[in-house]
Chain A
Amino acid sequence: AQSVAQPEDQVNVAEGNPLTVKCTYSVSGNPYLFWYVQYPNRGLQFLLKYITGDNLVKGSYGFEAEFNKSQTSFHLKKPSALVSDSALYFCAVRANSGGYQKVTFGIGTKLQVIP
């Protein structure tokens, strides 16, 4: 069974500092990996995804994520955090195989950017 682990319930970072939100995964075969952001009382917004190719993926709002196959990780990063980045972040994985494959979401990490 596939799974996603987000080991930190909350990450605090000062505005202007780099941020990292961690994600590790388990899936049969090659993965598709996703990051989503959720603001209070809202649905999830797609940030970025890894399919294949370059391990460093760039997404919306200056976020990027690095796929590391050996460590089965897909950490979300941003060079300089903004207060408006404060939200709940979800990592998700599905198997890279034919047909529809179920997506599994992590439990989410709350990012708090301190002014």
Chain B
Amino acid sequence: GAVVSQHPSWVICKSGTSVKIECRSLDFQATTMFWYRQFPKQSLMLMATSNEGSKATYEQGVEKDKFLINHASLTLSTLTVTSAHPEDSSFYICSVASGVTDTQYFGPGTRLTVL
């Protein structure tokens, strides 16, 4: 399967600042990447689908101006949480889809804590 990395693995920031999270596909050219958010003891919530060279597709209820997604190349997608607030604290996970069945391969996740 595809190997996916995320950076940073954890970040602590002050309320009102912006945080950028990188997702890299290390061995696979991913035209599509996905960004999920996971709350404690809950399932993954799809935030948006990131498409290389075009605008991301956001799920209903996800603020596109707050969660900026850039998929600048076939191996890199970034999620920027703008003007972060404590309620944005969460575990953010990216994935790439590979193959006909679109099996998803996940990054290790980024723990964001907003003080």
Please list 9 pairs of residues, one from A and one from B, whose beta carbons are closer than 8 Å in the complex, sorted by A's number.
Answer: A34-B103, A34-B104, A42-B108, A43-B93, A44-B106, A45-B106, A49-B103, A90-B44, A102-B46
Residues of B within 8 A of A (CB-CB), count:
24
Contact A43/B108 with A106-B43, A107-B42, A107-B43 known, Cβ cut-off 8 Å: yes
Contact A101/B102 with A41-B111, A43-B93 known, Cβ cut-off 8 Å: yes
Q: Chain A residues near B86: list those with CB within 8 A.
A: none
- Report which of A46, A102, A108 forms a contact with B103, defined as CB distance below 8 A: A46
Report how far A107 CA is from B102 CA in the complex, Å: 20
- Whether A105 contacts B43 by the Cβ 8 Å rule is yes
Q: Chain B residues near A45: list those with CB within 8 A.
A: 106
- Report which of A36, A101, A106, A108 forms a contact with B106, defined as CB distance below 8 A: A36
- Whether A44 contacts B93 by the Cβ 8 Å rule is yes
Contact A94/B102 with A44-B93, A105-B43 known, Cβ cut-off 8 Å: yes
Q: Is A114 close to B, CB under 8 A? A: no
Q: Is A103 close to B, CB under 8 A? A: yes
Report how far A51 CA is from B32 CA in the complex, Å: 21
Chain B residue nearest to A34 in the complex (CB): B103
Q: Chain B residues near A100: list those with CB within 8 A.
A: 32, 49, 97, 102
Inter-chain pairs besides A42-B109, A44-B106, A46-B103, 6 sampled, C-beta below 8 Å: A41-B109, A43-B93, A51-B101, A92-B104, A100-B97, A108-B43
A29 smallest CB distance to B (angstroms)? 14
Q: Chain A residues near B97: list those with CB within 8 A.
A: 100
Q: Chain B residues near A108: list those with CB within 8 A.
A: 41-43
